[in-house]
Structure formats: C-alpha cells, structure tokens
Structure 1
C-alpha cells in the first residue's frame, strides 16, 4: 500500500500538481523566512507575531501562484470564484497557522532552536496538511 502511494506521488494523477505545489511552497517559504527575519531582526517584532503576519502574506502569495500554475486545470477564474478560492485557501491555511506557530514556539522555547530554523521545520510539517486540504477543497 505504501509503495502504491509513493508510486502515485511520483507518476500518478496528482504528481505534477504536487511537484508544482512544492516549488510554489519553496518560493513562498523563502519569502516567509525573509519577512520573518525583517520583522524580528530589523523591526524588533516578537517572533510569534512576526511569523503570523509573514504567514498571512505568504498565504495570499501562495494562492495567487498556485491558482495560476499548480492548479491551472481547475483554476478559479472570475471575480467571485477567485475571491471564493482566496477565502477557502485562507480557511485551509488559517487552520494550519496554529500548527506552524505551535511547532515554532515549541522548538524555540523548549528545544532552544533558532527561530528561523524552527520556522523552516514548522513550514515543512504544516505543508503536507495544507496540500491535502487545498487539493481537496480549494481547487477540488
């Protein structure tokens, strides 16, 4: 069963979407990391507040990129459909914010991991959750 799932991820029907989702995620994760660094190290904002704002900014960017490229076959077009998709992805990704912030907090406060490293781990861990929900609901 696990082999079949892994095979589908490599060459199955969602393989192209998953690869594109990962590329968009990597780009927006880099943007999120840069924003977090700017908020914390340059503006002096608490890392949890900075992370929350950076996450919301990249939620919007991710939607724009994923709608145009990753899920172009089921792309949200027209004003109402586009804004509805943005709302759905905000709900999906908004539910991932506590996961990401919780992992970030736990790694920084309890494991003494640098906040940028902890944020990278948190982005990765919440990424699988976001893909499944976006694939099924935002563009499903």
Structure 2
C-alpha cells in the first residue's frame, strides 16, 4: 500500500515524536498534546473533504483520545481550583463536539474545536517564561 520511503518517513516521525516526549518538561508535554490534537483535527478535516469516512473517524478518535487521556487527565481538580474545573468542562465540551462533528460530517464543528485548542495552546505557550522562572527558583534556593 505504501512505498518503503513512506514507511521510513513514518518510522522517522515516530522516533522524532518519542524523542520530543522523552526529553520534554511537563509544560512542554501539554504543548505537544495541544499540537497533536490539532494535527488530528486537521487530518479529520482533510479526510472529511475527501469523503474518506474510515480515516476521518480514526483522526477524530485520535483527537478525542488526546483530549480525554492527555489534556483532561493531566488536570488536578483538587489543586487547580476554578481554572482546572473550567478546563475540565471545556475539554468535555470539545470531545462532545468532535463526536458530533464526526456523526454530522461537520467541518464547522471541527474548526470550532481547533480554534478552542489553538487559543488554549497559545495561552499555555505564553506562560512558558513564568513556568521556567518558577521551576528555576527552587534550584537557586537549594544552592544557598
């Protein structure tokens, strides 16, 4: 079905992703989850436009798994307070919309969820300097 070159490229991509994940900080892992979910939605949109129902379903399912098993499961609802609760509700909404988008073959719904993820990803990337400062602070204090 695929040429050897494609198989090699896929293996190379998997190694690249595994390497990125293994060396990533917790903050960076969340960025990778946002990017993975958005990439899956982009694939779902492409398959929707091409009329490829099985592949669209796989891509939507992948996006849902990333949101539920990655982003949503990473929330600490006990410590995170109102923000964690709101994110939890938003992630649940996104998974429902993705499921509905797949059933109704709605690119508009896919775009909506992608936009929500893009906004969260941008905000998460925006706090990177603060996260770096906070993680560096204990190291500096332990040197004293």
Into which bin does the TM-score normalised by the smaller protein fall? Answer: 0.3 to 0.5
Larger radius of gyration: 2
**TM-score when normalising by structure 1:** 0.33
